[in-house]
Structure 1
Amino acid sequence: MNDFSPFQQINLDFEGRWLITCDHATNHIPAEFEPNLGLPQSEIDRHIAYDIGAKRVTIELARLLQSPAIYTQFSRLVIDPNRGERDPTLVRKLYDGTIIPANRYADHAEITRRLNTYHRPYHDAYRSLAARRPDTVICAVHSFTPQLTARARRPWQIGILSAADKRLTAPLIDAMRNSDALKSAAAELGEPLCIGDNEPYVGQFPGDAIATHTVAQNRPNVLIELRSDLIETPQTQLYWANLIAPILTDTLAKTGL
């Protein structure tokens, strides 16, 4: 592995309550899996390998909220850090119509090795960073593709995901739906503002990152999904982070959490 680290932490001296996380920050394939897990570069550049634009939004949100952040430095095609260790999609063999050759024959021993090398170190660091103060609030940043293969185009600009704990997510959805800034941003796109409530995905999977680091600890949390075509450039990533950060700050303050 040389000096490769499966995760990066930033803003460790910032004192904000938030911890901004990005489980699918990069499409980087570590050298041991070259060339590209047996895939052409065109597939590695797709959403199947990472959440396009989410890393820079994470970094900008952490700066704006004066809080630390943690993000992965390996593609989810190697192993998915937003899946529990027993999840059947932990190491994907097929994703949105694409077969991943290097994963095709990954057995229990290989999956365990990847857990120990990539997945578990990320979650160990995540756990320690979340525990730095007793009132940590988790904000996980993801992005979703505008359209899956052979599916209808998705109308949402932003999706807010949650499971049973809606202390922060329910008022955040209301605040976003009533935000003049977000309405203006949608209008500039020629679209009505559309904020998804557990769309385009269900709130949580057993053992996923949010469940692992918030449920037992009773930590307030939100998982934000941004449509990836809106955050493809550094300029648009900063733009959407600037739209979202004050809504997060105001909503958290109003909840009294």
Structure 2
Amino acid sequence: MTPPLPALAHPAYEIMNPEAPGPWVVTCDHASNAVPDWVAGGDLGLPAWDMARHIAYDVGAAGLTRALARHLGSPAILARFSRLVIDPNRGEDDPTLLMRLYDGSVIPANRRLSPGDVAARLDRLYRPYHAALEALARGRGHERGRPAILAIHSFTPQLKGRPPRPWQVGVLHSHLDQRLARPLLERLGREADLCVGDNEPYSGHLPGDSIDRHALKHGRLNALVEVRNDLIGTPEDQEAWAARLAPILAAALDEATARPTSRPEAWRTAHG
């Protein structure tokens, strides 16, 4: 029996286009910088300018996610809470699940968290988001690695004290399953005006993260796409990037599903 779709709107998440027939589930773990009013009175103790930058959410990623979902004719799920409240792209046992210091900024409300504080954030935000994402993916069936999980993130052009990041877009992937990432990187690499990061600006395998939880553990095709946030700051920029990326993503998915190594175990055997 197909499980019922989760609610479209919940304090922890928003679901867009739940009945869309496309082969993707587009996710945005870091869509929002919102702090629920029951978390430290709705204020983590950071100035507004800190809450508006990449430490609190992935700038521009929500708009890009919505635009890509439209172009790909597929559903999307977006978290509705700041990564500083609790990070849905971390495992429950990850020490960075609740950040106390991030890119030079101390998060005052996270300095002394009680076990009850942590449990409330897990139970009211983190776990409902992941349950809804899994229900959305499972409700779409499972055929030759589909639905493919497409995780959308953005990255800042430069961290404090670090060199500038030259990449406009990066594809993050795990060594455990590169069936979709490889053809996607090949196609992006043909775009002469793009500097494309292969597992840049971050490593693509983090045990317990969203891709590990919802793609690798279920044999679903997957890719995590990072776009530099100064390139997607406006709705017009987000739409332009979505229009550019969607056909590249669609072609990469067609290639990945057409290959004989369409299961992750077969891919790992064929590629060592």
Please report the TM-score for the alignment, with normalisation by the length of structure 2: 0.87
Letter in 2 for 1:165: D
Distance 1:214 1:35, change over 3 A: closer
User: Within the alignment, does 1:147 sit opposite 2:158 as a pair?
Assistant: yes
Q: Distance in 2 between matches of 1:155 and 1:42?
A: 24
User: Within the alignment, does 1:99 sit opposite 2:106 as a pair?
Assistant: yes
Tell me, yes or no, if the aligned pair for 1:48 and 1:95 is still in contact at 8 Å: yes
User: Within the alignment, does 1:130 sit opposite 2:141 as a pair?
Assistant: no
After superposition, residues 114-125 of structure 1 pair within 5 angstroms as 114-125=121-132
Q: Distance in 2 between matches of 1:197 and 1:34?
A: 40
Tell me, yes or no, if the aligned pair for 1:160 and 1:225 is still in contact at 8 Å: yes
Q: Render the CA deviation track for 1:86-139: whole Å, top value 9, x for unaligned.
A: 000000000001000000001333212110010000000000001122121000
Tell me, yes or no, if the aligned pair for 1:36 and 1:44 is still in contact at 8 Å: no
SS of the aligned residue for 2:44 comes to helix
Equivalent pairs, count: 244
Where in structure 1 do 4 or more consecutive aligned residues deviate above 4 Å? none
Q: Specify the alignment match of 2:190 in structure 1.
A: 178
SS of the aligned residue for 1:216 comes to helix
More off after superposition, 13-22 vs 105-114:
105-114
Q: Specify the alignment match of 1:167 in structure 2.
A: 179
Q: Distance in 1 between matches of 2:160 and 2:183?
A: 33
SS of the aligned residue for 2:149 comes to strand
Q: Distance in 1 between matches of 2:218 and 2:54?
A: 31
Q: Specify the alignment match of 2:216 in structure 1.
A: 215
Q: Specify the alignment match of 2:4 in structure 1.
A: none
User: Within the alignment, does 1:194 sit opposite 2:195 as a pair?
Assistant: yes
User: Within the alignment, does 1:247 sit opposite 2:248 as a pair?
Assistant: yes
SS of the aligned residue for 2:18 comes to coil
Q: 2:117 aligns with which of 96, 102, 110?
A: 110
Letter in 2 for 1:211: D
Tell me, yes or no, if the aligned pair for 2:36 and 2:42 is still in contact at 8 Å: no
Q: Specify the alignment match of 2:64 in structure 1.
A: 57
Q: Specify the alignment match of 1:157 in structure 2.
A: 168
Please report the TM-score for the alignment, with normalisation by the length of structure 1: 0.92
Letter in 1 for 2:182: A
Letter in 2 for 1:160: V
Identity of matched residues, %: 48
Q: Distance in 2 between matches of 1:169 and 1:35?
A: 38
Tell me, yes or no, if the aligned pair for 1:10 and 1:68 is still in contact at 8 Å: yes
RMSD value over aligned CA atoms?
1.2
Tell me, yes or no, if the aligned pair for 2:154 and 2:227 is still in contact at 8 Å: yes
Q: Specify the alignment match of 2:266 in structure 1.
A: none
